[in-house]
């Protein structure tokens, strides 16, 4: 199960974030921020799985866990902001 707030709504197909490393920058860049304080200093809990096809780590699960904001020092909801 993937926590819906960890998905990027600016991606049309709602595909979860896949790459944990090299990836070409998408045309529209977005950043997740804390819905309380707008800080982007947030942490997610996730497991990655190696993909033999793409030869990179892919996000396997986020355990439906809320994100953690280092600025609030607590759980937070994620908002996705466009970045230019």
Told to check if 37 binds Zn ion by CB under 5 A, we report yes
Instruction: Give the DSSP letter of residue 2.
Output: -
Told to check if 71 binds Zn ion by CB under 5 A, we report yes
Told to check if 46 binds Zn ion by CB under 5 A, we report no
Q: What is the closest distance, in whole angstroms, from the C-beta atom of residue 71 to Zn ion in the complex?
A: 4
Number of residues counted as binding Zn ion (CB under 5 A): 8
Q: Which is nearer to Zn ion, 2 or 36 (CB)?
A: 36
Told to check if 79 binds Zn ion by CB under 5 A, we report no
Binds Zn ion by CB under 5 A, chosen from 56, 72, 79, 80: 72
């Amino acid at each position: 199960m993937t926590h819906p707030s960890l998905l990027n709504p600016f991606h049309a197909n709602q595909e979860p974030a896949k790459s944990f490393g090299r990836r070409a920058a998408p045309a529209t860049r977005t950043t997740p921020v804390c819905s309380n304080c707008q800080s982007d200093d947030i942490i997610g809990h996730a497991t990655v799985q190696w993909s033999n096809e793409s030869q990179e780590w892919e996000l396997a699960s986020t355990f439906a866990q809320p994100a953690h904001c280092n600025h609030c020092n607590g759980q937070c909801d994620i908002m996705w902001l466009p970045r230019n």
